[in-house]
Structure 1
Amino acid sequence: MSHADDPDLLSRRRFLASAATAATVAATSAVAAPRVLAKSSSTTTNADADTVPFWGEHQAGITTPQQGHVYFAAFDLTTDKRDDVIALLRRWTDASAHLTQGQTAVPLTDDMANPPTDSGEAIGLTPSRLTITFGFGPGMFVTKDGVDRYGIQKHRPEALADLPRFNGDQLVPERTGGDLCIQACANDPQVAFHAVRQLSRLAYDSAKLRWAQPGFMAAQKDKGTPRNLMGFKDGSMNPPINSATMMDQYIWAGNDAGWMNRGSYLVARPIRIALEHWDRMKLGFQEQVMGRHKDTGAPLGSKHEMDGLNLDANDADGNPVIPENSHVRLGAPAVNDGAQVLRRSYSYDNGLSFTAERWPPWRQAMEFDAGLLFLCYQRDPRTGFIKIFENMSKFDMLNQFVTHVGGGVFACPPGAKEGGYVGQSLFELA
């Protein structure tokens, strides 16, 4: 008998589906469960080529080759009961294992007396390499009204440090923080949104959405480094995801990390870009700001994108070829004690909104509410993002065009074993 055909497991999933939709179905009831109409939302005959495994040592969506779209969401927990949080994580894990394989989060039924168990907008779509990655914010570990809500405060990792207030931050409370986060990535934006929507439905009695941000990444013809909305290649200095040594050194938490061993820490930051301001700048100035050539992505003074940074090179006048306050120099490991992070960023476009520019010409108008959803993973944010961004926030020439408007830091636990749940290593601690 296959795992999917286990009658006890199927019965449990039917119960969860009913619970999520406020049905009063008891697990021991003599009444027959609603007839299952479909197990899968995918009609593809070769789903394996379009799927990413959910179970494993690490959560998918971290070192997974980047998909074309993301839907990122942060949640606030509304329950004070530890068992409710565990039940939610079990539901989310079980549902995600199905969603990433092209199935509905819970089986579809013909129960006309309750809401549908799936919203239905992804029925017929392929899995589109969907990955779902979960993270725990600092709020899960803090006391509320003097009470350690979930009995885990003492297990908060030191690496899950609150981000300092950086120079230039204009963080909007409604786009900042969160007790939990979900990063859903897929090659189809509807598949990514559908996944977060279903998980949100399963959380109605335990958590509520705090903020969310969809994003996209244009596919390159040569499958090279993608470009951001400023037109420059984004992520050229990433450590190679196919190097286990590099990932262990910079991305995965180690044996000394306790329950976070083989997990990673995520920093998420929506960054608004003043595109109207940037588009008025001369090409030469844009390249000086970035420290790279716009067409090839090569460091200034070099020909190829992956050429090493020659930070000691000077021009005929004795000035650094790569300016001292350029983006690429200030973010380089060589000037940050070797610090590196794994960028997994996406562009975003929220339409238009009224804004006042931070720099001359101090323009105030309806402008694009667009920019970069900066996502980066690391072994420890204190020696990763915080270390790198402290100087960048003060001296980077790019700051006159970008504003960090929200975000948070999250501990992304190791992957789950089949039959378990994400975060189990934390909640099994006494």
Structure 2
Amino acid sequence: MTDPTPPDGQPSRGVSRRGVLGLAAVAAAGTAVGFGTGRATSSGADDPRRGSHAFHGDHQAGITTPVQQHLYFASLDMTAGASREDLVSLLQDWTAAAAQLTAGQEVGESGATDGSPLAPPDDTGEALGLGPHNLTLTFGLGASLFDREGDPFGIAARRPEALTPLPSFAFDLLEDAISDGDLCIQACADDPQVVVHAIRNLSRIAFGRAQVRWTRLGYGRTSRTDAGQQTPRNLFGFKDGTANILSDDAEALDRWVWASDGWMAGGSYLVARTIQMTIESWDRTRLQEQELVIGRTKGEGAPLSGGTEMTEPDFAMRSSTGDFAVPSTSHVRLAHPDLNDGVRLLRRGYNYVDGNNDLGQITAGLFFLSFQRDPAQFVQIQTALKTDALNEYIRHVGSALYAVPPGARRGEHIAQALFES
């Protein structure tokens, strides 16, 4: 199948520079993966650098796409005095750049090396020769974008009812500096340089219209969205996301992930939570206690009621002491759909490490990402976790909620329906 990266490994330029040839390459890449499916091209099986996902489609890629190994997430705020025209032009420019980036191309007309020597290059160049590495770019809109005083963007009346700031939860220690934001970009790929390059260039494009509020660099996925993927482990050493919604479960996606109302039809809502883990305390906890806190065995990942990783927990089973085999305060029990009116989320979390604090303790944890058709799903589950024994070992320090519009079709820009009457 056609791939946008030439045999010499150097990425092609954008459409405007290559003209018809560039357009054909992007179109071929989109055809190869299937419109709106976000599946990787078969070339990725032979060379991971060449795997790619179509940017255009019915839904944004980066939701049901098989979870990649690396993440760079950015929250941005529109600049003071920015207008509706600034917002629309930014979304148009991001759409064009995202189509180039996910196809493994350089950004702009002249890329990193072919422009005027007297002007900054269109592309920063650190991803030259790397290929797309299954890059996906997912864009979201925060509640604050609709709440600006004076409604400078003319969208206040079109704010989705579901896009309401999340309530305060037990044990929240949220920091404003790593919470919320007008806009977000989720970049996921199987190469760390590729995701950094994407966010760097999209942030650069936003200059004068929006600026970065906070970012999170993640590595090592902690969820799976594809049946062919192994269940990964979080930094506590336990398998995470065993019961996650998978990309081939169309019924579950329609019921729990895809929104259906107005301009958000085909979109979703993204919850992003920075969950800091008290690594040192956990590492000094007995294995038996760790397993009771989680509700699963650490090795196999099986529920404490028995079986294998994929065995459904038996919440009625009792141990020889008369207690529930899966403790009443265990994370698995409190978060399970059976005890939450069947509510499910699609998770795409990542581990993160931010170095050490002044006491030499590791600053690390889980960057929790979930997609749902209504944020009330997350609220219900998070509220149920109030008595979770895991709360002794974690701190929720960052939080954000975004409306993720449906995918942009060719010739459209991100969230175009929001601005149409």
Structure 2 residue matching 1:389: 3-state secondary structure: helix
Give the equivalent residue in structure 2 for 1:360: none
Give the equivalent residue in structure 2 for 1:241: 247
Give the equivalent residue in structure 2 for 1:402: 394
Please show how residues 171-190 of structure 1 align to structure 2 within 5 Å.
171-190=174-193
CA distance in 2, matches of 1:120, 1:45: 25
Count of residue pairs brought into register by the alignment: 376
Normalised by the length of structure 1, the TM-score is: 0.84
Q: Quick one: structure 1 residues 106 and 45, their matched pair in 2 at CA, closer, same or farther if it must change by over 3 Å?
A: farther
CA distance in 1, matches of 2:15, 2:248: 36
Q: Note if contact 2:353-2:363 (Cα within 8 Å) is conserved in structure 1.
A: yes
Aligned residue among 95, 120, 123 for 1:115: 120
Please show how residues 262-273 of structure 1 align to structure 2 within 5 Å.
262-273=266-277
Give the equivalent residue in structure 1 for 2:417: 425
CA distance in 2, matches of 1:391, 1:303: 25
Letter in structure 1 aligned against 2:87? V
CA distance in 1, matches of 2:103, 2:17: 20
Q: Quick one: structure 1 residues 141 and 208, their matched pair in 2 at CA, closer, same or farther if it must change by over 3 Å?
A: same
Aligned residue among 93, 96, 109 for 2:95: 93
CA distance in 1, matches of 2:197, 2:416: 25
How far did residue 302 of structure 1 move? 1.6
Give the equivalent residue in structure 1 for 2:64: 63
Give the equivalent residue in structure 2 for 1:319: 323
How far did residue 334 of structure 1 move? 1.2
Give the equivalent residue in structure 2 for 1:139: 144
Structure 1 residue matching 2:361: 3-state secondary structure: strand
CA distance in 1, matches of 2:141, 2:129: 32
- Kindly name which structure, 1 or 2, has the bigger radius of gyration based on alpha carbons: 1
Structure 2 residue matching 1:407: 3-state secondary structure: strand
CA distance in 1, matches of 2:399, 2:151: 24
Aligned residue among 158, 162, 165 for 1:159: 162
Instruction: Give 4+ residue runs of structure 1 displaced > 2 Å after superposition.
Output: 44-49
Q: Note if contact 1:47-1:101 (Cα within 8 Å) is conserved in structure 2.
A: no
CA distance in 1, matches of 2:141, 2:237: 33
Please show how residues 22-421 of structure 1 align to structure 2 within 5 Å.
49-78=50-79, 79-107=81-109, 108=111, 109-144=114-149, 147-217=150-220, 223-254=229-260, 257-354=261-358, 365-382=359-376, 384-392=377-385, 394-421=386-413
Letter in structure 2 aligned against 1:386? V
Normalised by the length of structure 2, the TM-score is: 0.86
How far did residue 46 of structure 1 move? 6.9
Q: Note if contact 1:47-1:102 (Cα within 8 Å) is conserved in structure 2.
A: no
Q: Quick one: structure 1 residues 240 and 9, their matched pair in 2 at CA, closer, same or farther if it must change by over 3 Å?
A: closer
Give the equivalent residue in structure 1 for 2:38: none
Which digits, 9 at most, give the CA deviation of each residue in 1:328-371, with x for residues without a partner? 011011111111101100000111114xxxxxxxxxx2311100
Letter in structure 1 aligned against 2:186? Q
Which digits, 9 at most, give the CA deviation of each residue in 1:48-88, with x for residues without a partner? 95111111000000000000000000000114310110000
RMSD: 2.1
CA distance in 2, matches of 1:223, 1:60: 17
CA distance in 2, matches of 1:47, 1:57: 25
Q: Which runs of 5+ in 2 are unaligned?
A: 5-13, 20-44
Quote the sequence identity (%). 45
Q: Note if contact 1:271-1:402 (Cα within 8 Å) is conserved in structure 2.
A: yes
Q: Note if contact 2:272-2:400 (Cα within 8 Å) is conserved in structure 1.
A: yes
